[in-house]
Amino acid sequence: MGNGSSSETKPRGSSAAAPARPSVQAQSSFQRIANNYSNLRDLKQVTKSNEWTGKRTFRGQCLHDVSSMRPNLYEEVMDIVGRTLCDFDDDNIIPVFGFGDQVTGDHSVFSFMPLQNSGQPTIPGYALQGVRPRYREIAPHVCMAGPTSFAPIILQAVNTVIANRYAYHILVIIADGQVTRSVDVPDGQFGKQELDTMNAICYASNFPLSIVLVGVGDGPWDTMAQFDDALPQRRFDNFQFVEFNQVHSDLMLATCKREAVEDAVAAVGALADPPHQRLAWLRFEY
């Protein structure tokens, strides 16, 4: 199941290179820039691969398993994002969507919010503390499928930015795998889902939207680690990838309180770029 949330952050594993050192300064600087501008959007991936990509990182269970009171990897990321971004989201309303299931595949998303007969959500989103309970209600009933494309989620977030008068947003995508690539695609070329995703990221750079992809599970993540570099020229660098398991492993070796370190790494690693992205957007805007 894919997962997305709009408070703008950048995707992928631990911010590319060495883990950043915990810094309260980085978090406060982000707040100064993003506060009153930032809205959070959350998306979760429900592709079939969630059933096997937890072999190493989630005790062999499906990554969307909610049969235990113990949080799965998606929920761990939700908690970290919630603790890190709660002070940055000015309205505490988070539109949440899923993607990659049997119905949406690689072409659309489904809403976590209840829908009216017209197909419109009955509520605009959930408070941070309401996202996980709603996820637990939905997860057991979703038929996981594929293939994986992040284009529908990104375009949904762009529409939200437009509907909110171009207020700055952060899109957080939680996914268990990289974009689908057919074995028939020659080296040096890109498949349909890859091209769709790349085009969507480039298009999104025309809007005040930062994209953070958080990878959970076993991966592989090699393509995602190189994905940012392969993107064509954009108006600003609007995409970041964080590999959650790598960050999590590093934190397990830390000697200080896990929750404090986890929050700091999330703030510095995943949210290091949005302040600069916000400033870059302001330069274009004015």
Per-residue pLDDT of the chain (286 residues; tens, 9 = 90+): 555 554 433 333 322 323 333 333 323 322 333 333 345 555 544 444 444 444 455 455 778 888 888 888 889 888 887 777 666 677 788 889 998 888 888 999 999 998 888 788 888 888 888 889 999 999 888 888 878 899 999 999 999 999 989 888 888 898 887 788 888 889 888 899 999 999 999 999 999 998 888 888 877 777 776 777 778 788 888 888 888 877 666 555 555 555 554 554 454 455 445 555 555 555 555 4
What whole-number distance in Å separates Cα of residue 271 and Cα of residue 176? 20
- Answer for the pair 195, 149: CB distance below 8 angstroms, yes or no: no
Spatial CA neighbour of 57 closest among 35, 74, 40, 36: 74
Residue 3 tokens, joined: 């997962």
For helices 244-252 and 73-85, the axis angle rounded to 10 degrees is 80
- Answer for the pair 2, 259: CB distance below 8 angstroms, yes or no: no
Torsions phi, psi for 141 (to 5 deg): -105, 0
pLDDT of residue 192: 92
pLDDT of residue 176: 82
Is 154 part of a structural domain of the chain? Answer: yes
Task: State the Cα angle at 118 between 115 and 122, rounded to 5°.
Answer: 35
- First-to-last alpha carbon distance for the chain, in angstroms, is 39
Enclosing domain of residue 64: 2-169+191-222+230-285
Radius of gyration of the chain (CA): 17
Q: Which amino acid is at 94?
A: I
Is 186 part of a structural domain of the chain? Answer: no
Is 180 part of a structural domain of the chain? Answer: no
pLDDT of residue 48: 47
Is 37 part of a structural domain of the chain? Answer: yes
pLDDT of residue 156: 92
Alpha helices per DSSP H over the chain = 24-34, 73-85, 128-138, 151-163, 192-204, 222-230, 244-252, 258-265, 274-285
Torsions phi, psi for 97 (to 5 deg): -140, 160
Is 7 part of a structural domain of the chain? Answer: yes
User: How many structural domains compose the chain?
Assistant: 1
- Side-chain half-sphere exposure of 128, counting CA atoms within 13 A: 19
- Regarding pTM above 0.75, the answer is no
Is 175 part of a structural domain of the chain? Answer: no
Judging by beta carbons within 10 Å of its beta carbon (0-12, 13-18, 19+), is residue 202 exposed, middle or buried? Answer: middle
Torsions phi, psi for 214 (to 5 deg): -105, 115
pLDDT of residue 108: 92
Q: Count H helices, E strands: the chain? A: 9, 7
Is 176 part of a structural domain of the chain? Answer: no
Task: State the Cα angle at 268 between 129 and 261, rounded to 5°.
Answer: 70
Helix (H) or strand (E) holding 44: strand 39-45
Is 18 part of a structural domain of the chain? Answer: yes
Q: Residue 268, SS3?
A: helix
pLDDT of residue 94: 86
